Chain A
Amino acid sequence: MSALSRRSGLLAPAMLAIGVLLVLPLGLMAYVSTLERGSDGGVIWDRHTLDAYVQFLFERDLMDNLALNTDYLGIFARSIGLAATTAVLTLAIAFPTAMWMAFQPPSRRTFLLFVVTVPFWTNLLVRNYSWILILRNGGFLDFALMGTGLRHEPLNILYSPLATGIGLVYSFLPFMILPVYVSLEKLDRRYIEAAFDLGADRLRTLIRIILPLSMPGIVGGLILVFVPCLGAFVTPALLGGGKSLMIGSLIQQQFGQARNWPFGAALAFVLLAIILAALWVHAMRFRRPTRSAA
């Protein structure tokens, strides 16, 4: 058996499974977004229209004229803003932690890595739910603040954009710690020693040496947080209540109460396009000479 046919045989099941059960469905989703909505929900398979995309940007007034409607754009803008804020906040929290971990003796590093990964692998739903217990009126936070006399009434922050933000930062913090840690750990220590030898103090070493050299990890972490945050569904549903709609909840509604599949598919397709564009820009910026890796 030749190496080529053996390799094809080994790769075939994975390609087939992902091709049929993910790539094909994504194509189908793009197709459905161009179909006409059925009267009882669902779609009419042979009637094409761009209504879904028109609905995203415009609304029809009583005279059947199109007027720009910024409602959905507003939800996309809010989601992008929330995802970007979350990414920056997690970076601010994660960087010092990753730095401390990376400069520990190797044996302790493995253990610390494990400690940081456990919450990452703990059920996302459970982790978000635990914040309900903390943030709800009379919950753990109120109990702690009122018990120590710092406050006299409940904070009332559950079911708000703030609560969604807290939940998102908490959920995705490990996505930031890990890549930043990896790039700091791989960083050649001699550069740092050289900076110290040449009389740079810690702050200067941090800004001029450590930050630039850990940039791939930082950017990687920003993307790893931003991408899932943008499509977040569980966190806004549990902590945000109905008031702060995000893209994920909007898409879900089209398949739930609204029963507008073409519109839901169009929203999902726009979300996917934004994310693929972000990843593509990243890949272009950090493209390495591929041959030398071999």
Chain B
Amino acid sequence: MTGSRDLWQFPGTKTAAFAVIVYLYLPILVLIVLSFNASDSSLARWEGFSTHWYAMVAADDNMLNAIRNSGIVACIATLFGTAIATAAALGTARTRFRGQTVVEALIGLPLIVPDIVAAIAILLFFVMIGIKLGLISLVLAHTVFAIPIAYLPIRARLEGLDPALAEAAADLYANPWQTLRRVILPLIWPGIVSGAMLAFIGSLGDVVVSYFVSGPGSTTLPVYVFSMVRMGVTPTVNAVSTLLIAASVSLLTASYLLGRRFS
């Protein structure tokens, strides 16, 4: 390349970027590698490949129960959250109305309030109105956080839509419901799917809110792992952590590929 192109290469930024990418991934890689370590001390010394710790995960009934709870809560919260977010995005995208700033601030509120504050506020609310802490309280709390996460990609997709398409549908005598079903929803589908995936990952990863609003029998996986880690490091935690990483990375990759295919 000629000199003008070289000018854009600020010295050191490339090295810094690669260092940052290594920094971001190294701890995760260490964790994944150690989850296959035959040694039971979980120190850094490699003592041969083994899937023993994964077998331990599969044999731990409490862990399996926590995985099941996490799955149930994440699925239901994602379903509710995404449906509510889709409706909200249809109501706010490509329009200006009085009170819009307030509406949008409210939708974003769960992402602004610190986890710990939201968690104890919701806990106090459940205690006051007498909702028993368990799967239902978890689903309700997780739905609130799923809404803004799913809202953002759906809304972005709607903003990118050509308004002429909805107008053409109206010209051809489609009523608003038919326009929504036949024109808008198929076009924003990738946004909805990627919003749902992010909401699912968010729900699956939540520790703080779940820590406060889960009951004795309804521990979610991250809460269970959190209490295990506080007791002490065991290689079983490495294995179940690797499984959690695998779940979010595969969902993210699917969401990324989907976005690329439809953009």
Which residues of A pack against B, CB within 8 Å?
A: 1, 6-7, 9-11, 13-15, 17-19, 21-26, 28-29, 32, 42, 93-94, 96-97, 99-101, 103, 110, 112, 114-119, 121-127, 129-134, 136, 138-140, 142-144, 170, 173-174, 177, 192, 196, 202, 206, 227-228, 230-231, 233-234, 237-238, 247-248, 251-252, 255, 261, 264-265, 268-269, 271-272, 275, 279, 290, 294
List of A residues within 8 angstroms of B260 by Cβ = 110
Does more than half of chain B's interface fall in helix, strand or loop, or is it mixed?
A: helix
Q: Are the CB atoms of B87 and A10 closer together than 8 Å?
A: yes
- Please list 23 pairs of residues, one from A and one from B, whose beta carbons are closer than 8 Å in the complex, sorted by A's number: A11-B103, A14-B106, A21-B140, A22-B144, A28-B125, A29-B117, A32-B124, A97-B16, A119-B24, A119-B25, A121-B205, A127-B27, A130-B27, A130-B28, A142-B44, A170-B23, A173-B20, A192-B8, A227-B114, A231-B114, A247-B116, A268-B121, A269-B117
Number of interface residues of B (CB under 8 A): 88
B204 and A143 contact, CB distance less than 8 A: no
Closest residue on chain A to residue B12 by CB atoms: A96
Chain A contacts of B69 at CB under 8 A?
none
Pick the contact of A97 from B20, B30, B45, B118 — CB < 8 Å?
Answer: B20
8 Å CB contact of B124 from A25, A110, A228: A25
Q: Does B164 contact A (CB under 8 A)?
A: no
> Is A123's CB under 8 angstroms from B117's CB?
no
Tell me if B244 and A123 are in contact (CB < 8 A): yes
Query: Contacting A129 at CB < 8 Å: which of B8, B31, B106, B249?
Result: B31
Is the Cβ of A21 less than 8 Å from the Cβ of B125?
Answer: yes
In the assembled complex, the Cα of A97 lies from the Cα of B92 at a distance in Å of 34
Q: Cβ of A206: which chain B residues have Cβ within 8 Å of it?
A: 10
- When the two chains form their complex, are residues A18 and B115 in contact, meaning their CB atoms are under 8 A apart? no
